Amino acid sequence: MNEREDLRNSSNYYNLEACLFDCVTKSFARKSTLNAFDFYAIISWKSNRSITKVKKGLKSAELTPRALMSKVAECAGDEVRMKVLVEEVAGIGVPIASAILTVCYPDRFTILDYRAWEALFHFKKVESKSIPVDIGSYFNYLGKCREMAREKNMSLRELDHALWGWSKRNSIINLACRKLI
């Protein structure tokens, strides 16, 4: 590949989310696993600061990203998939696991994120302002998101974007309305 082609291909990563949900989702559907590059691209997208912890967790568990994701693909159910990620690899908590599973199974999972949670709290879909990070609470959150997506006639991905955007917009509004000292 020449330098020009390399630069053109690299521009796909400017919008990493679009790249993940186009290329990586399709690749996982075909191969039932992820290569290391795609796996770490998801980690980088969700929480770049967690990459080192996840790498150490995989090494400690004596797993490669490909082996871990093959194991996830073989699981009998969604809760088991989440448990494999969270319980077998130190450094992968529920929020990161939710991102991995959302890229791999975008119609069945959504991302646990403080911005989406804040919006759900505002819309009275969850009772606590504090975001939970245990597996059971994630599936409760997922149920609330599925319910809201049905109510609003949106996909889980569309709802995730809308909730995140609602929170981001409101944080900018709040910032813009503060008086300078």
pLDDT for residue 181: 55
Residue 36 CB partners (closer than 8 Å, separation 6+): 64, 65, 66
- Whether residues 34 and 120 fall in one domain: no
Residue 39 contacts residue 29 (beta carbons within 8 Å): no
CA distance 6 to 112: 34
Residue 145 CB partners (closer than 8 Å, separation 6+): 110, 116, 120, 156, 159, 160, 163
- Whether residues 73 and 132 fall in one domain: no
- Whether residues 92 and 126 fall in one domain: no
- Whether residues 41 and 81 fall in one domain: yes
- Which of 91, 109, 127 is the last residue in one of the domains? 109
Per-residue model confidence as pLDDT tens for the chain (181 residues): 778 777 877 777 888 999 999 999 999 999 999 999 999 999 999 999 999 999 999 999 999 999 999 999 999 999 999 999 999 999 999 999 999 999 999 999 999 999 999 999 999 999 888 898 899 999 999 999 999 999 999 999 999 999 999 999 999 998 888 766 5
- Whether residues 1 and 81 fall in one domain: yes
The number of folded domains in the chain is: 2
CA 104 to chain centre: 10
Q: Amino acid identity, residue 71?
A: K
- Whether residues 103 and 119 fall in one domain: no
Residue 89: which domain range? 1-109
- Whether residues 10 and 53 fall in one domain: yes
pLDDT for residue 90: 96
Tokens of 49: 């600061």
